[in-house]
């Protein structure tokens, strides 16, 4: 950032300095020429033709340098067919006047015709009264004074712009250094977090960095929550598997006659527990993706077809908008809807009605059946792992627990109510809508 700022400042100052140099040099040169033009005009006004037909002045130029040889200020009047009329300061030298072109207006230019002395010349062609000859009036002055003024001007300009460049670059460096200083604080805070000295970035930060720090703290909190969930899941799984393993070990140690049945029964229990925790682990892992989304209608149709093949006597009706999406992975959405619709088909009386709609940032699923329903005092307990109210039909007792856990992981809810239309159970599942 400092190098880019320095390069940009240098580029601007060089460009600006060049333009300003052109303007100031032109102004100084214009002022120098104005003085010579004033003398030239005075010469033309005082010029006249004598009896021999040559030019003379009725009033000599007042500047004494015209009388001093080699003074650096000269004049000359030249005409075709006549000897040039020079100032005494020219002595034995003459100004080149090039009679092959006409200067009807004042013409200014530089000349190197005198060795070791650069001249600035202004000239004009004039026809004086009483003469048909075109006379060229010339005033020349050494450029030493003009070049000296330009040199002083350029030195001042270069020094001023160099000082300005240094000041701007130092200011940009200080601004960059102190502007990025809070990032060093963030780095130190992250190092403290990695060393275990703190668990959040707690230092006060400028308003520009505050959103980044908030997101960083939110990420740390999210990771801590996931780690805590992972530890809790591992502990729950270990606790769930401990009892079946103990039963199997005791039966094996005692040489029980029903050892095979015990192993099969307890293995099923362990498998249900493993499936349940794997489902939660998958949902927790996918939750971190901000791009998780699934289309509702294709998932409903897929689940409806699968359940209809298992329970051919059950009529399943699905209604609602077909363009809704939820912030849930498709596999998890299928698992939740599959458990709920399959339960409605399994425990209902033959009719299942599914309604889907959007409400206040959520997509709401209403799964109703015409079964006997669930008593209100049992509706909370049904979400516990392994709880089954109807043991006469096959099942694991984990379906509702999986639905609740996965829905909560994605920020949704599930609740049990009584269906007013069908008279059985109504399951209300709400999941975050994806826009």
Residue 175 lies in a domain: no
Residue 161 lies in a domain: no
Give 29-36 contacts, CB < 8 A, sequence gap 24+: 29/120, 29/146, 29/150, 32/120, 32/141, 32/145, 32/146, 32/149, 33/108, 33/120, 33/122, 36/108, 36/120, 36/121, 36/122, 36/139, 36/140, 36/141
- Tell me if 106 sits within 8 A of 122, measured CB to CB: yes
Indicate which CATH number applies to the domain containing 93.
Answer: 3.30.450
Per-residue pLDDT tens digits for 361-402: 899 999 999 988 888 877 777 766 544 444 444 444 456 877
Per-residue pLDDT tens digits for 228-256: 777 776 766 776 677 788 888 888 888 88
Query: What does the pLDDT average to over 115-125?
Result: 93
User: Is 104 found in the same domain as 31?
Assistant: yes
Number of CB atoms found within 10 A of residue 303's CB: 23
The pTM score is 0.50
Residue 394's pLDDT is 43
User: Is 15 found in the same domain as 111?
Assistant: yes
Query: What does the pLDDT average to over 191-201?
Result: 85
Per-residue pLDDT tens digits for 85-95: 999 999 999 99
DSSP for 81-132, written as a single string: TS--EE-GGGTT------TTS--SS-EEEEEEEETTEEEEEEEEEE--TT--
Residue 388's pLDDT is 44
Residue 118 lies in a domain: yes
Percent of the chain with pLDDT over 90: 45
Residue 212 lies in a domain: no
Query: What does the pLDDT average to over 198-224?
Result: 85
Q: What is the mean pLDDT of the chain?
A: 86
Confidence grade of residue 132 (pLDDT, cut at 50, 70, 90) = confident
In this structure, what are the phi and psi dihedrals at residue 316, rounded to the nearest 5 degrees? Answer: -115, 120
User: Is 317 found in the same domain as 258?
Assistant: no
Query: What does the pLDDT average to over 96-106?
Result: 80
User: Is 283 found in the same domain as 323?
Assistant: no
Residue 125 lies in a domain: yes
Task: Write down which residue in 150, 166, 201 finishes a domain.
Answer: 150
User: Is 326 found in the same domain as 277?
Assistant: no
Task: Write down which residue in 287, 309, 337 finishes a domain.
Answer: 287
Query: What does the pLDDT average to over 298-325?
Result: 92
Residue 332's pLDDT is 85
Residue 219 lies in a domain: no
Residue 276 lies in a domain: yes
User: Is 125 found in the same domain as 28?
Assistant: yes
- Tell me if 292 sits within 8 A of 432, measured CB to CB: no
User: Is 272 found in the same domain as 317?
Assistant: no
Residue 284's pLDDT is 61
Q: Which class for 118: exposed (0-12), middle (13-18), buried (19 or more C-beta within 10 A)?
A: middle
Query: What does the pLDDT average to over 162-172?
Result: 94
User: Is 308 found in the same domain as 282?
Assistant: no
Confidence grade of residue 422 (pLDDT, cut at 50, 70, 90) = confident
Q: Is the pLDDT of residue 151 over 70?
A: yes
User: Is 23 found in the same domain as 138?
Assistant: yes
User: Is 350 found in the same domain as 274?
Assistant: no
User: Is 332 found in the same domain as 255?
Assistant: no
Residue 364 lies in a domain: yes
Q: Look up the domain containing 280 and give its range.
A: 229-287
User: Is 242 found in the same domain as 112?
Assistant: no
Total structural domains in the chain? 3
Residue 325's pLDDT is 93
HSE (side-chain half, CA atoms, 13 Å) at 303: 28
Residue 276's pLDDT is 64
Residues near 306 by Cβ (< 8 Å), separated by ≥ 6? 338
């Amino acid at each position: 950032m400092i190098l880019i700022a320095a390069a940009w400042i240098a580029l601007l100052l060089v460009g600006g300095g060049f333009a300003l140099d052109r303007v100031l040099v032109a102004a100084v040169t214009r002022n120098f020429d104005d003085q010579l033009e004033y003398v030239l005009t005075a010469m033309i006004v005082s010029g006249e033709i004598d009896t021999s037909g040559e030019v003379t002045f009725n009033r000599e130029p007042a500047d004494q340098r015209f009388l001093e040889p080699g003074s650096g200020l000269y004049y000359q009047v030249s005409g075709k067919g006549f000897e040039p009329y020079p100032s005494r300061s020219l002595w034995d030298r003459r100004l080149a006047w090039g009679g092959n072109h006409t200067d009807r207006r004042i013409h200014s230019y530089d000349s190197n015709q005198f060795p070791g002395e650069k001249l600035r010349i202004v000239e004009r062609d004039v026809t004086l009264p009483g003469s048909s000859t075109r006379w060229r009036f010339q005033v020349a002055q050494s450029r030493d004074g003009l070049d000296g003024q330009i040199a002083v001007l350029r030195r001042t300009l270069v020094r001023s712009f160099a000082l300005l460049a240094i000041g701007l670059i130092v200011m940009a460096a200080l601004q960059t250094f102190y502007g990025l200083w809070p990032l060093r604080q963030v780095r130190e805070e992250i190092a403290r977090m990695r060393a275990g000295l703190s668990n959040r970035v707690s230092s006060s930060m400028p308003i520009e960095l505050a959103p980044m720090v908030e997101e960083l703290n939110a990420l740390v909190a999210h990771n801590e929550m996931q780690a805590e969930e992972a530890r809790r899941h591992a502990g729950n799984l270990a606790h769930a598997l401990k009892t079946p393993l103990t039963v199997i070990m005791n039966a094996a140690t005692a040489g029980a006659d029903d050892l095979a049945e015990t192993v099969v029964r307890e293995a099923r229990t362990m498998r249900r527990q493993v499936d349940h925790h794997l489902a939660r682990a998958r949902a927790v892992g996918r939750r971190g993706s901000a791009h998780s989304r699934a289309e509702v209608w294709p998932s409903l149709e897929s689940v409806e077809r699968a359940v209809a093949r298992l329970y051919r006597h059950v009529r399943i009706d699905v209604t609602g908008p077909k363009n809704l999406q939820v912030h849930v992975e498709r596999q998890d959405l299928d698992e939740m809807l599959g458990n709920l619709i399959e339960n409605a088909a399994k425990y209902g009386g033959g009719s299942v009605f599914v309604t889907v709609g959007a409400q206040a940032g959520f997509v709401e699923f209403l799964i109703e059946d015409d079964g006997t329903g669930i008593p209100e005092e049992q509706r909370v307990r049904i979400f516990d792992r392994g709880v089954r109210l109807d043991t006469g039909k096959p099942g694991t007792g984990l379906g509702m627990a999986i639905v609740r856990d996965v829905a909560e992981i994605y920020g949704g809810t599930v609740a049990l109510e009584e269906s007013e239309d069908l008279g059985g159970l109504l399951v209300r599942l709400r999941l975050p809508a994806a826009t």
